Structure 1
Amino acid sequence: MRHSLPLAPQFYVTAPQPCPYLEGRMERKLFTALQGPQAERLNDSLSKQGFRRSQNVLYRPSCSECSACLSARIDVSAFAPSKSQRRTINRNSHLVRRATSPWATEEQYALFRRYLDARHADGGMADMDIFEFAAMIEETPIRSRVVEYVDRRTDKLTATCLTDVLDDGVSMVYSFYEPDLPRQSLGAYMILDHVDLAREAGLPYVYLGYWVPGSQKMGYKRNFTGLEVFRQGTWERLTGGEDFSEELSPDGTDPIAEQVANIALPDPVR
């Protein structure tokens, strides 16, 4: 019988490109392939260390100019909705959650196109066609769900989130919604409903992607109580009095080799 040692994942760095969050800065990403029999365990482990999934790749910002992109999650046990968030829940009481397997539909793509054209016409996904959209939804080596929100009165798809199920929470990979309903605050509503979804599943966290101090695009995430960020190798609860000057300075970044050396990998299954 042949025996072989499991290969450790290989990490790579993207070329620098303009940062979408902080004007005048450049971003780059540290990434690795998500594949093989240990894909789910690798995703669980690296998600707890600030990584995000995009199809079959795990990535984490690794910029030379700053380390301001901080992975964010909500501690479900510490979350309590504000008055405005309760109003958002009530305004969307006509929406029904429908969780399905990761399969793309034409209805989803039509909603996705309306959302991009209205909100992110100049973004990196603006030219995504239906085949690329299907790949984003369907190419997942782990346990993923498409969470749809349907108007019970019209049976119309109003919002959608591609969601990963981790061993300690749910991760909102990408969400989009009807852009012509600003009063419904659909982006915030999906986060609020994912808190309920995690609570129903007995999972402690909702992973939201990145929060960037100084970026207006990401400011809304501070509105959720129980918010934690992955900072300097540990999860830290945000209280409002933090000083992020080190993260916004080039002096606060570690060399790539040191970053990789400090990544904890899951033990191989024997």
Structure 2
Amino acid sequence: MSNPSESVFRRLQFYTTATYPCSYLPGRMARSEVAAPTHLVDESAYARLIEQGFRRSGLFTYRPACEQCQACIPIRIDVQRFQRDRTQGKLWRRLQPILPARLAPLHWDARHFELYLRYQKRRHPGAGMDQDDQAQYTQFLLTSRVHSEMAEFREDDGTLRMVAIMDRIDHGLSAVYTFYDPDWRASLGTYGILWQLDYAARLGLPWLYLGYWIGESRKMAYKSRFRPYQILRGGAWTASPDGD
């Protein structure tokens, strides 16, 4: 008897988008490979796509398909073997007691949107994501057909400092997007990843998928500081090149 999830996966088709300006490396053009139709990307198919280097943006599941550039390398962190380095450990001990997370299903919250806009305008100005467009925000982060959830990080007085969107699959968590207070005093982006690693460990999941590592991009190179990690090259996940 055939596996229903295998049948669904085989019905997926893949198309390549037109070129568009790369959001990571200035002066370069990018293309993406997109899985379609989107309604067939159920949780089982999505898990297989994640393992093949795809990511999710709203209802679209994609991976880079640039002809002249292979700078975007899928990366995942080994949750069970992960060890915080000295700086990460110090940050975790400082923030974990004062900035706890509360899990919630995806939902609209005006305070989230205000924080998102402040984050985009400060950290990614001119990238097209800093517009006061509720529909774009909702489509990008709050629309999903898989097991998605958000973690809200608030101080004791209720002040919102960070929101992390995650997808849960059978072999890990996929970190979809995190935005945070750009004026706060601590390294919230690093803390967000540390929290997701801790959450995945509590769930007994082996991997945290962090999307793409781009060595040439300062904004993306930080991902290789979480070790040990694996990268996807030639269709196979391999240990980090420095041997960790």
TM-score between both structures, scaled by the size of structure 1: 0.82
Deviations 1:52-91 (A, max 9, x none): 0111111000001121211111011221001100111123
Secondary structure, in 3 states, of the residue corresponding to 1:78?
coil
CA pair 175-38 structure 1, distance change in 2 beyond 3 A: closer
Q: Which has the larger radius of gyration?
A: 1
Counterpart position of 1:207:
209
Higher mean Cα deviation, 168-177 or 37-46?
Answer: 37-46
* Match among 17, 23, 39 for residue 20 of structure 2: 17
Tell me, which stretches of 5 or more residues in structure 2 are unaligned?
1-6
**Separation in 2 of the partners of 1:148 and 1:34?**
31
* Match among 223, 226, 231 for residue 224 of structure 1: 226
* Match among 127, 134, 141 for residue 130 of structure 1: 134
CA pair 158-15 structure 1, distance change in 2 beyond 3 A: same
The number of aligned residues is 235
* Match among 149, 154, 177 for residue 174 of structure 1: 177
Offset of 1:156 from its aligned partner? 0.9
Deviations 1:150-204 (A, max 9, x none): 112x1111100111001111111011000001x4100000100000000000100
Offset of 1:26 from its aligned partner? 1.6
Higher mean Cα deviation, 16-25 or 75-84?
Answer: 16-25
Whether the aligned pair in 2 keeps the contact of 1:76 and 1:205 (CA below 8 Å) is yes
Counterpart position of 2:111:
107
Offset of 1:119 from its aligned partner? 0.8
Is 1:185 aligned with 2:182? no
**Separation in 2 of the partners of 1:107 and 1:28?**
33
**Separation in 1 of the partners of 2:216 and 2:133?**
32
Moved over 4 A (4+): none
Identical positions, percent: 37
TM-score between both structures, scaled by the size of structure 2: 0.91
**Separation in 1 of the partners of 2:69 and 2:140?**
28
Q: Which amino acid aligns with 2:138?
A: A
**Separation in 2 of the partners of 1:110 and 1:202?**
34
Higher mean Cα deviation, 185-194 or 229-238?
Answer: 229-238
Tell me, which stretches of 5 or more residues in structure 1 are unaligned?
242-270
Secondary structure, in 3 states, of the residue corresponding to 2:162?
strand
